[in-house]
Amino acid sequence: MSTPLIEVDRLSKYFPIRRGPPLFSRVRHVHAVDDVSFAIGRGETFGIVGESGCGKTTLSRVILLLEEPTGGTIRFDGRPTAGLAGEGLRDYRRAVQAVFQDPTSALSPRMRVGDIVAEPLRATGTASAAERRAEVERLLKVVGLRDNAASAYPHEFSGGQRQRIAIARALATKPRLIVLDEPISALDISIRAQIMNLLRDIQDSTGTAFLLIAHDLAVVKHMSTRVGVMYLGKLVETGPSDALYRRPLHPYTRALLAAALPARPDDTPGPPPLAGELPSPLAPPSGCRFRTRCPLAGPDCAEAEPPLRGVGHGQYVACHRV
């Protein structure tokens, strides 16, 4: 097998925070991402799903080198990202771009769209002004914006159009990986499918890989080659998208899927819905982190942490009961 485009190995990110009264406070750690490993191949889409607060954005920020990992490594094209500086860091930032949930805060309100999209090109300093203008026109056309969009300001566009501008900017450096952190969840339901179709078309024509983060299991299913399910900073199940949706094995994946599916007309009992609150990531439960909400948990689940183990067909699950 050729080297994956990106390999994340045992990645962790803990945030230290002070708790308790002054003088008696002590530092505790939010276990936002804990020992997460996966790889994304060239041109592939890896989807990540999980409840709010499970660490999806933190994981993406570590991959974007916006946060230092607490532990673990990232390799891009076989090369470690630790210690990247100067030209190496600039190359990485060109190769790995991002589109975030809220296009309004991601776009500077005082810059014209043409300048926003040209900014990454200007930063690299390789093109002339005329070349940049032509490239901006091309990119705006790729994302389906009107001809004179370059001279307008972001507020003149709708939410969906602003997300198209953010996508055009991400494409400017011809990235090999785009991190999409909830790219449609802030948009009107009526235009979500259009943006997903646009992303898919872009992937078909450019071969860019995606790390697609979403709450919505349906979004991830239709876009992703493989999917990872996160719970309290950990990957609890991962596998090819069709296998994972057809045969979800982890009780958490099953609960997520059951919650996302409409009630069954024939009244066949599905897995029970997810009960209880998400435990604090400051003090995750011992052993299996999901045990406090798991319908299958037994006393042993409090003792050992279940490792992610292969169950065939590329599917991996971290559960003592599977």
Q: 96-99 and 177-181: which strand pairing? A: parallel
Considering CB distances under 5 to 8 angstroms, the limit depending on partner class, which of ligand ATP, Mg ion, none binds residue 245? Answer: none
According to CB under 6 A, which residues from 179 to 218 bind ligand ATP? none
Please state, as a whole number, how many other Cβ atoms lie within 10 Å of the Cβ of residue 134.
12
Residue 32 found at the interface with ligand ATP (CB under 6 A): yes
Q: Could you say which of 4, 7, 56, 239 contacts ligand ATP (CB under 6 A)?
A: 56
Q: Are 300 and 275 in contact (CB under 8 A)?
A: no
Q: Could you say which of 12, 45, 57, 208 contacts Mg ion (CB under 5 A)?
A: 57
Bridge partners (DSSP) of residue 314 are none
Residue 55 found at the interface with ligand ATP (CB under 6 A): yes
Least separation in angstroms between residue 201's CB and ligand ATP is 26
DSSP 203-264: HHHH--EEEEEES-HHHHHHH-SEEEEEETTEEEEEEEHHHHHHS--SHHHHHHHHHHSPPP
# residues contacting Mg ion (CB under 5 A):
2
Which lies closer to ligand ATP via its Cβ, residue 19 or residue 264? 19
Least separation in angstroms between residue 17's CB and ligand ATP is 6
Which region among 37-45, 47-55, 112-120, 247-255 touches ligand ATP (by CB under 6 A)?
47-55
d(CA 241, CA 71): 28
Least separation in angstroms between residue 257's CB and ligand ATP is 17
d(CA 6, CA 226): 14
* DSSP 8-state secondary structure symbol assigned to residue 12: E
Binding residues for ligand ATP, per CB under 6 A?
15, 17, 30, 32, 50, 52-58, 281
